[in-house]
Amino acid sequence: MTVSFSIIKEDARTGARAGVLHTLRGDVETPVFMPVGTQATVKTMTPREVWDLGGRLILSNTYHLYLRPGADLIREAGGLHRFMGWTGPILTDSGGFQVFSLASLRRIEEEGVWFRSHIDGSEHFFSPEKAMAVQEALGSDIAMAFDQCAPYPCTYEEAREAMERTSRWALRCKEARRREDQALFGIVQGGVHRDLREKSAKDLVELDFPGYGIGGLSVGEPKDIMYQVLDYTVPLLPREKPRYLMGVGSPDCLLEGVARGVDMFDCVLPTRIARNGTVFTRDGKLVVRNAGYARDFRPLDPECDCYACRHFTRAYIRHLIKANEVLGIRLTTIHNLHFVLELMRNIRRAILEGNFYDYKEAFLARWNKN
């Protein structure tokens, strides 16, 4: 098996578990947050910096890399790991979510999806087979099945159609898979409808994937709805397989996801808001680019020991961001990634020590106070 999963400890009061995801490029402790390297780089960061912050498994985007620089070029370079200089494991999404959210002029057929590039308007076709071929050219350690993600809100009928097609496409992905050194995870869809999630989980579990993504969440629905969907969806998935909540990365959602039995997360949120001058602190978000911080000579987060907080002040970082200096968004990115990766380490330690519930409640009480 290319990728396998061991559960080290299950929490008594919640669904949380601490585990290890074993890959050919090293073990990854779970629950894990995957920094996102959309275009073969975690934005503003070197691979070494991501590693030093504790990133062990990163996500990269099939849709973006297929369009630029192209999967063939990356294959020629020796694969995505060599191309971008990341020696740890990589998970690639299937391109499905981006095709449905970024590209224009989509025509969805049973065979696949026609879309236009958001870069140059050129027309392209993605199918389950194509998504697998591209991911195999990239050479990621974990590929995701090509899915159809229904928007939120949408009708029950739309959600049902997308879910059923996702199941049929999952089978085609499995049959198209050629690389023995690449694991393939299925994706559960079904929107916010319990019966659709049940059907989707049943279909996917029958295909016996080594891991399962939970897709179609964090797409605009209220957080409570997302938590409800997780409440009834996660128990439908095999206990011994890793569960991956796609596109989720705000600290509160990470805690709530772990509490419901999720093992893996990815999200551009920490790095994206960093580039807008917003950082995480124990007391919630702080918009450091605001004028009120012009003469604030404290660190971004006085309780943080990341490189940015050990060496620089809010006043300096605000100056850099106002002056469009790259170092500004480098420092906020370092801080936010550190914040989230440290949160995951603390979560795992709390699970192992048997006090995850208390840790979560204490964190959220402070986080939500502002």
Q: Which residue's structure tokens are 């995951």?
A: 344
Identify whether 141 is a catalytic site residue. no
In this chain, which of 6, 8, 12, 76 binds a second copy, going by CB under 8 A? Answer: 76
> Can residue 4 be called a binding residue for a second copy (CB under 8 A)?
no
> Can residue 294 be called a binding residue for a second copy (CB under 8 A)?
yes
CB 124 to a second copy: min, Å: 17
208, exposed or middle or buried, with CB in 10 Å at 0-12, 13-18, 19+?
exposed
Site size toward a second copy, by CB under 8 A: 35
> Can residue 316 be called a binding residue for a second copy (CB under 8 A)?
yes
b/e sequence 267-293, b meaning 16+ C-beta within 10 Å: bbbbbebbbebbbbbeeeebebbeeeb
306 is in an annotated binding site: yes
> Can residue 84 be called a binding residue for a second copy (CB under 8 A)?
yes
In this chain, which of 114, 152, 307, 357 binds a second copy, going by CB under 8 A? Answer: 307
> Can residue 81 be called a binding residue for a second copy (CB under 8 A)?
no
In this chain, which of 322, 354, 358, 366 binds a second copy, going by CB under 8 A? Answer: 322
CB 367 to a second copy: min, Å: 29
CB 141 to a second copy: min, Å: 19
In this chain, which of 54, 69, 79, 238 binds a second copy, going by CB under 8 A? Answer: 69
CB 43 to a second copy: min, Å: 6
Q: Which residue's structure tokens are 């990634």?
A: 337
Q: Which is nearer to a second copy, 209 or 293 (CB)?
A: 293
> Can residue 40 be called a binding residue for a second copy (CB under 8 A)?
yes
In this chain, which of 7, 133, 315, 364 binds a second copy, going by CB under 8 A? Answer: 315
Residue 183 has a CB neighbour count (10 Å cut-off) of 25
Identify whether 266 is a catalytic site residue. yes
Q: Which is nearer to a second copy, 4 or 41 (CB)?
A: 41
CB 114 to a second copy: min, Å: 24
Q: Which is nearer to a second copy, 40 or 236 (CB)?
A: 40
Catalog residues that contact a second copy under the rule CB under 8 A. 39-41, 43-47, 68-69, 73, 76-78, 83-85, 294-295, 297, 307, 311-313, 315-316, 319-320, 322-323, 325-327, 329-330
- For the annotated catalytic residues, the residue numbers are 93, 266
Binding residues for substrate: 93-97, 147, 189, 216
